Structure 1
């Protein structure tokens, strides 16, 4: 996807989750727990692959299950801005 302005990490994660088709857009919000949004292990894998493809960042399963959407976005933003992402 190409846009004229960079999208925020939380918007990107939301877009990926909604595109997976399991969570309606109104249920995907900053306070939602990732484990509730990614309801099975296949979704976790799909999210990890999508983030690697879009942001060139690796995430582990615990991050995708233990954090809220906002917390997870903050973790990714910190990695992207510090170059601390395992690639």
Structure 2
């Protein structure tokens, strides 16, 4: 399953976090470190799988822990554009 080209990566990641992990929408902000959102290894794996299923893009654990939501979304945007 893929998303439309118009859906931003920030919106997609936010929707996944809210849907899968039941985060309150107000906690899913661009400047928040991903490691503060996906706090354990299972969450990292589940998010990586969801992104791969929806975008066809692979991400690794380091990316999911080291970057802010905005930075991580920019990485995904670049990969989406490169395809």
Equivalent residue number for residue 16 of structure 1: 16
Instruction: Give RMSD over aligned pairs.
Output: 2.1
TM-score, with length taken from structure 2: 0.89
What stretches of structure 1 of length at least 5 have no aligned partner?
none
State how far apart, in whole Å, the 2-side matches of 1:18 and 1:27 are: 9
Match of 1:34 in 2: 34
TM-score, structure 1 length as denominator? 0.86
Output the CA distance in 2 between the equivalents of 1:24 and 1:78: 27
Choose between structure 1 and 2 for higher RCO, CA contacts under 8 A separated by at least 6 residues: 2
The alpha-carbon deviation at position 23 of structure 1 amounts to: 2.4
Normalized per residue, which structure has more helix?
A: 2
Distance of 2:62 and 2:4 partners within structure 1: 33
Question: Any unmatched runs of 5+ in structure 2?
Answer: none
Number of aligned residue pairs: give it: 83
Larger radius of gyration: 1
